[in-house]
Amino acid sequence: MALEQALEKWTGKITEVTIGATREEGGTRSAKVVAGGESTLPFLTFEGEVPHQPVIAGEILDRYPEEWPSPLREAFGEDLKDPAAWARRWVEGYGAQLLCLRLASTAPDAGDASPEQAAATVRRVLEAVGAPLIILGSEDVEKDNAIFPKVAEAAAGERCFLGVVTKDNYKSIAAAAMLHGHGLIAQAPVDVNIQKQTNILLLEFGVKKDSILMDPTTGGLGYGLEYTYSVMERLRLGALQGEAQVAVPLILFPGAEAWRSKEAKESTQDSPRWGEQETRGVLWEILTGTNSLQAGGDILVCRHPEAAAALRRHVAELLV
Amino acid sequence: MLLVGERINGLFKDVAQAIQDHDPEPIQKLALEQTAAGAAYLDINTGPAVDEPEKVMPWLVKTVEEVVDTPLCIDSAKIPGLRAGLEAVSRSRPMINSTTAEPAHLEAYLPLAKAHGALLIGLAMNRRGVPKDAADRAGLAMEIVVAADAAGFPIEDLFIDPLVLPVNVGQEHGPEVLETLRQVKCLADPAPHTIVGLSNVSQKCPHRSLLNRTFLAMAMAAGLDAAIVDVEDRELVHTAAASRVLLNQVIYSDAFLENR
Amino acid sequence: MALSGLEIYKLTPKKNCRECGVATCMAFAMALANGKASADACPYLSPEAKAALGAAAEPPIRLVTIGKDQGKVEVGDEHVLFRHEKTFYHPTAIGITVADTRSSEEIRERVGRINELWFDRVGLCLSVNLVAVTDRGGDFAQAVRIAAEASSFPLVLVTRDPAKAAAALAAAGDRRPLLHGATAATLDAFLELAKEKGCPLTVGGALEELPELTERAAAGGFKDLVLAPAVGSTGEMLRTLTQIRRQALKKKFRPLGYPVLTEVTGDDPQDLAARASVAVAKYASVLLLDTVDPAVLLPLLTNRQDLYTDPQKPIQVEAKLWEVGSPDQDSPVYVTTNFSLTYFSVLTEIEASRIPSYLVTVDTDGTSVLTAWAAGKFGAEEIAQILEKTGAAEKVRHHKVIIPGYVAVLSGKLNQLSGWEVLVGPREATGIPNFARSRWRGEEVEAGAGSVSA
């Protein structure tokens, strides 16, 4: 009995966003990464195109992450002490094609590194690896506005993505990004309306649509995912139904979200009924990621290399 | 909400004059202005003064397509005019304005629409004219739906027009049109789309813009998907944008007025 | 789910006899679609047409019950593709497999571990739901008997062999287990068993085969069916289960209007959990898993809780005094609402501050700070009351309470009502670590200096 497929007719398409620039394009990256381009819901290849696999990126910090739970720290060992070594480990050891550098030490209450120091760190990481780079500040508004002009200049032409910008703070970072050929991460606090407004403000400011990624603020598994899942899904559905201003790729941070949770941090001895911490913590990150993928995620930034590897295998399985 | 720009119609003196003079400039200006104002389709009608629309329609279509990509709504009371217009269209998927529920009309228009992959407007009227109440309008809409289904024409490509009459002469038709819009959505699954020629509601009335946009909001709440309107009426276009947000058809943002 | 005018018209005799009181069959169909006429008015509707109209009144996906009494599990009866459109109603029932080739002792041991797969989370008990005994060529009936004794969970009997199923049903048939399962070749034998024992039954095969099988069952009057489509890759599972859900909801295609079962096996717990999470998110009603590792089940059950939470009804936490780390009498005291997302955001940031603290939650019916304040559920009275009720004053000696920055306006009145000194904290939870390290530490130094001078 032939079954007539139930298909949707989507009118929208997610904008393709390229991260990284090779030598021919004015940068020094050995390869670039393309995200977005879908004209269908996640992995539903029967009614539209999924031209690019969702990208699994590795996260690095510009300082030693002493507060991270032990399974995370053990995965990188001594390399955590040097962002360049850490970056190399992700790329050479764990096959990452995209990196996300968090300039945590620029936070005024956690090192207060200067814009020049931040720029130097970015240079070091860019020189250490050929992978394209996403660069996050400390989310301290004034400090981010101070560091990003220097950071953007230090990475000029590399087509990095800088973030985050919000509807209340985007102008100086966006100006720096446009001047030096970078893209932006538009963040909104778990709110489809503010996300759309933020994107509109950036577009009106002159940012090109192919230079925006949106971060709707993901909750971790068990810690807000019940809200963020539907926020992501609504944004993606809106985009496919033709709402151009939200038709940009979604970037999500399952690593950062998952490893803040008690279930990932608690040791095996402290919570024996929860099973092994390492398994549990990595799975917390993986499942935060798999749900983000089902809701429309295009770029997932991971912390544990095993989670990144598992999500890469998972993405491949979803496209078979 | 799909807004169809109504201005390229020989009913308007400037357009009639341009057609007579074979002058592309006023036509192209209207095409550009209406597109900029938010028209998703442009109605193209040679007007009542042209006896053989098939001679003018191709020129009108080409003239417009020279300056915009906006899809066209080929509007003619005569089949040869429609056919000539459809054949001239090269840029995008056209809409046909319009058939009635009259079987002879349906037999002619449905195959024409299918052959050109066009959307089709179906007027809820037949040779006896415009029905008075919603039940009869919906009945005629049903006849169009059944005929389309039998002809293998996709129901979702059909736009049912319940026919709006001027409020100063046919006041009792207003609520009937709104009720028809609601009923049309139960006729098939997926339901046919709905459309009205909005400006007719305010023919020869003062405060036309107010009447037009008020009825537009009411009709959208009743299930209206498209309207042939004066897209250069900013208040009207804003009413459509506000209604879309209020009906949860698009994601709200503070910049919702810019959201078409 | 109502039929459209066109669908009903196709069921009418199209003879325009007017016996129903309406001029044409078309008009009658429209009246029915608009709920303004009854199908009984037409004397010429065929039995099939009447059945189709009657079926349209039933839910688009059948509700199927596995097990009996308290432990029973209900699956199916879903109405949307996306949870924000309404909600997902019946959480994916998770069953854990036990192979019949294990020894009696091993079966008892494994079922014992399945019984222990429950976790307390946000005041709710998350648990697996089913024990699935699988026929791997051992003594199936005996394995089912042992599992039935050892667990109060409803059972799934996984066998392709109707004879083995019959033997197992003799042991546990009164528990209304789910029989899994029939295929085209064995459907009739399984149907007989299912009817006799009143058990739900899965029908398996390729997606295209399933409608014919369910129609055969329904023609014989049996509808307690669960679909078990054959799927390969995770992507194929996603697409197949999405098709089934859409066929049922969007096309109102009755033959696929049943809950769906899928099995996830494999040695790698990461791959297994990843695939299982897709099944939970995208439309599996029953999920059979081959693992008893709590480190896999805790995240997966949390995943299910997240997605089956009604997006309109926020999860709440208990209104009480929570200890973060091991606070003492000098630790800060924060106040917030009992909306789980607010609570977790604040909790996470307090943890990040690395200063052991108390966190007092006010019962605001699960609303966030500003909403609760606007609704009069998070005012000075409510905060003073909960401080009093939780005995916070006995826990600390400083009597300083930190309130969210958004409700700074409450400071005066709260101080008046409670006698506590009120410190205005940051507006967003993300400001807490900074606040704790600078402002609160400052308070401590001040207090220290004060005590020296005193």
Tens of pLDDT, residue by residue over B196-205, are 999 999 999 9
Same domain, C336 and C282: no
Q: Which residues of A touch B38 (CB under 8 A)?
A: none
Find, in chain A, the residue whose alpha carbon is nearest to that of C312.
Answer: A227
A17-318 CATH fold = TIM Barrel (3.20.20)
Q: Which of B85, B88, B75 shows the shortest CA–CA distance to B47? A: B75
Domain ranges (residues) in chain A: 17-318
Find, in chain B, the residue whose alpha carbon is nearest to that of A192.
Answer: B251
Write the CA distances from A311 to A162, A303, C79, C140, C272, integer angstroms: 24, 12, 30, 37, 12
Cβ-Cβ contacts under 8 Å for A249 (sequence gap 6 or more): A14, A15, A17, A35, A36, A213, A214, A298, A299
DSSP code of residue C309? S
Mean pLDDT value across residues A58-76: 95
Task: Please give the structure tokens belonging to residue B141.
Answer: 């809409």
Q: Domain boundary at C284, C308, C332, which?
A: C308
C51 lies in a domain?
Answer: yes
Find, in chain A, the residue whose alpha carbon is nearest to that of C210.
Answer: A1
Q: Which residues of A touch B245 (CB under 8 A)?
A: none
Residues of A with CB under 8 A from a CB of B: 192-194, 196-197, 200-201, 204, 234-235, 238, 243, 245-246
Distance CA A135, CA C383 (A): 41
Same domain, C378 and C278: no
Mean pLDDT value across residues A96-121: 95
Task: Please give the structure tokens belonging to residue C329.
Answer: 């009498």
More confident position, B225 or B132: B225
CB contact under 8 A, C294 and A274: yes
CB < 8 Å from C in window 167-196 of A? none
Of A286, A310, A320, the CB nearest to C233: A320
CB contact under 8 A, B187 and C33: yes
Q: Does B139 touch chain C (CB under 8 A)?
A: yes
Interstrand relation of C118-121 and C124-127 (parallel, antiparallel or unpaired): antiparallel
DSSP code of residue A89? I
Radius of gyration of chain B, Cα coordinates, nearest whole angstrom: 17
Say what the pLDDT of residue C453 is: 34
Distance CA A138, CA A148 (A): 11
Number of Cβ within a 10 Å radius of residue A117: 17
* pLDDT per residue as tens digits for the range C147-165: 999 999 999 999 999 999 9
The torsion of the CA quartet C82, C85, C86, C88, rounded to 10 degrees, works out to 0
Of C7, C26, C252, the CB nearest to B142: C26
CB contact under 8 A, A1 and C295: no
Same domain, C379 and C261: no
Q: Does C248 touch chain B (CB under 8 A)?
A: no
Q: Does B154 touch chain C (CB under 8 A)?
A: no
C374 lies in a domain?
Answer: yes
How many angstroms separate the CA of residue B160 from the nearest CA in chain C?
A: 15
Say what the pLDDT of residue B258 is: 75
Q: Domain boundary at C308, C343, C375, which?
A: C308
Same domain, C79 and C18: no
- Hunting for tokens 């049912």 — which residue is that? B160
Say what the pLDDT of residue C449 is: 44
Give yes or no for residue A147 having a pLDDT over 70. Answer: yes
- In a 3-state reduction of DSSP, which class is residue C378? coil
Average pLDDT value for chain B: 94
Mean pLDDT value across residues A29-51: 97
Buried-state track C116-152, b at ≥16 Cβ within 10 A, e below 16:
ebbbeebeeebebbbbbbbbeebebbbbbbbbbebbe
C264 lies in a domain?
Answer: yes
Q: Does A230 touch chain C (CB under 8 A)?
A: yes
Say what the pLDDT of residue C454 is: 32
Counting other chains too, the contacts that C185-189 makes at CB distance below 8 Å and 24 or more residues apart are C186/C160, C186/C161, C186/C162, C187/C213, C187/C216, C187/C217, C189/C162
Q: Which residues of A touch C348 (CB under 8 A)?
A: 223, 260-261
DSSP code of residue B191? P
Find, in chain A, the residue whose alpha carbon is nearest to that of C206.
Answer: A1
Task: Find how far residue A231's CA is from the centre of its chain.
Answer: 17
Write the CA distances from A127 to A86, A117, A134, B63, integer angstroms: 13, 15, 15, 56
C107 lies in a domain?
Answer: yes
Q: Does C206 touch chain B (CB under 8 A)?
A: no
Q: Which helix (H) or strand (E) holds C124?
A: strand C124-127
C314 lies in a domain?
Answer: no
Can you name the residues that pair with B118 across neighbouring β-strands?
none
CB contact under 8 A, C4 and B138: no
Say what the pLDDT of residue C447 is: 60
CB contact under 8 A, C30 and B142: yes
- For C453, counting Cβ atoms within 10 Å of its Cβ (0-12 exposed, 13-18 middle, 19+ buried), the class is exposed
- For C96, counting Cβ atoms within 10 Å of its Cβ (0-12 exposed, 13-18 middle, 19+ buried), the class is buried
Find, in chain B, the residue whose alpha carbon is nearest to that of C30.
Answer: B187
- What ipTM was assigned to the predicted interfaces of this complex? 0.96
Residue type present at position A68: W
C177 and C165 Cβ atoms separated by less than 8 Å? no
Q: Which of A129, A130, A83 shows the shortest CA–CA distance to A105? A: A83
Residue type present at position C16: N
Average pLDDT value for chain A: 96
Q: Domain boundary at C308, C333, C358, which?
A: C308
Q: Which of C200, C186, C180, C245 shows the shortest CA–CA distance to C73? A: C200
Distance CA C185, CA C160 (A): 10
Give yes or no for residue A149 having a pLDDT over 80. Answer: yes
Distance CA C225, CA C286 (A): 12
Number of Cβ within a 10 Å radius of residue B55: 13
DSSP assignment of B112-181 equals: HHHHTT-EEEEES-BTTBS-SSHHHHHHHHHHHHHHHHHTT--GGGEEEE-----TTT-TTHHHHHHHHH
CB contact under 8 A, B139 and C30: yes
Domain tally, chain C = 3
DSSP code of residue C103? -
CB contact under 8 A, B188 and C26: no
A163 and A215 Cβ atoms separated by less than 8 Å? yes
Same domain, C151 and C229: yes
Q: Does B151 touch chain C (CB under 8 A)?
A: no
Buried-state track B164-177, b at ≥16 Cβ within 10 A, e below 16:
bbbbeebeebbebb
Q: Which residues of B touch C5 (CB under 8 A)?
A: 142, 145, 186-188
Find, in chain B, the residue whose alpha carbon is nearest to that of A199.
Answer: B253
* pLDDT per residue as tens digits for the range A154-210: 999 999 999 999 999 999 999 999 999 999 999 998 889 999 999 999 999 999 999
Say what the pLDDT of residue C445 is: 63
**Range of C422's domain?**
321-453
Which of A10, A40, A193, A226 would you mutate first to test chain C, the one with the most C CBs within 10 A? A226
| Class of domain B2-258 (CATH, top level) | alpha beta
Give partners of A (≥3 CB pairs < 8 A): B, C
B123 and B163 Cβ atoms separated by less than 8 Å? yes
Strands in C231-347 per DSSP E: 261-264, 286-289, 321-324, 333-337
* pLDDT per residue as tens digits for the range B17-40: 999 999 999 999 999 999 999 999
B189 and B210 Cβ atoms separated by less than 8 Å? no
Q: Give the phi and the psi of residue C201 in degrees, each rounded to 5.
A: -140, 140
Radius of gyration of chain C, Cα coordinates, nearest whole angstrom: 29
Q: Which residues of B touch A234 (CB under 8 A)?
A: 251
* pLDDT per residue as tens digits for the range B112-127: 999 999 999 999 999 9
Which of C121, C247, C283, C302 would you mutate first to test chain A, the one with the most A CBs within 10 A? C302
Same domain, C341 and C358: yes
Same domain, C147 and C278: yes
How many angstroms separate the CA of residue B87 from the nearest CA in chain A?
A: 25
Which of A5, A263, A318 would you mutate first to test chain C, the one with the most C CBs within 10 A? A318
Say what the pLDDT of residue C22 is: 85
CA atoms within a 13 Å half-sphere pointing along the CA-CB vector of A42: 29
- Hunting for tokens 């990150």 — which residue is that? A285
Find, in chain A, the residue whose alpha carbon is nearest to that of C126.
Answer: A222
* pLDDT per residue as tens digits for the range B54-73: 999 999 999 999 999 999 99
Q: Which residues of C touch B145 (CB under 8 A)?
A: 5-6
C143 lies in a domain?
Answer: yes
C172: left (phi over 0), alpha (psi -120 to 50) or beta: alpha
A14 and A298 Cβ atoms separated by less than 8 Å? yes
Radius of gyration of chain A, Cα coordinates, nearest whole angstrom: 19
Find, in chain A, the residue whose alpha carbon is nearest to that of C231.
Answer: A320
Q: Give the CATH number, domain containing residue C191.
A: 3.20.20.20
Distance CA C351, CA C400 (A): 19
B7 and B230 Cβ atoms separated by less than 8 Å? yes
C202 and C227 Cβ atoms separated by less than 8 Å? yes
- In a 3-state reduction of DSSP, which class is residue C118? strand
C301 and C276 Cβ atoms separated by less than 8 Å? no
How many angstroms separate the CA of residue A2 from the nearest CA in chain B?
A: 19
Task: Please give the structure tokens belonging to residue C386.
Answer: 């909960």
Give partners of C (≥3 CB pairs < 8 A): A, B
Write the CA distances from C279 to A46, B220, C159, C348, C439, integer angstroms: 18, 38, 22, 29, 47
Q: Which residues of A touch C203 (CB under 8 A)?
A: none
Helices (H), A90-140: 94, 115-128
Q: Which helix (H) or strand (E) holds C423?
A: strand C421-424
- For C274, counting Cβ atoms within 10 Å of its Cβ (0-12 exposed, 13-18 middle, 19+ buried), the class is buried
Q: Does A47 touch chain C (CB under 8 A)?
A: no
C347 lies in a domain?
Answer: yes
How many angstroms separate the CA of residue B164 from the nearest CA in chain C?
A: 22
Same domain, C69 and C45: no
Domain ranges (residues) in chain B: 2-258
Same domain, C169 and C281: yes
Give partners of B (≥3 CB pairs < 8 A): A, C
How many angstroms separate the CA of residue B228 from the nearest CA in chain A?
A: 21
Percentage of the residues of chain B whose pLDDT score is greater than 70:
99
| Positions of chain C with pLDDT lower than 70, given as ranges | 1, 445-454
- Confidence class for position A233, pLDDT limits 50, 70, 90: very high
Find, in chain A, the residue whose alpha carbon is nearest to that of B255.
Answer: A197
Distance CA A316, CA B14 (A): 61
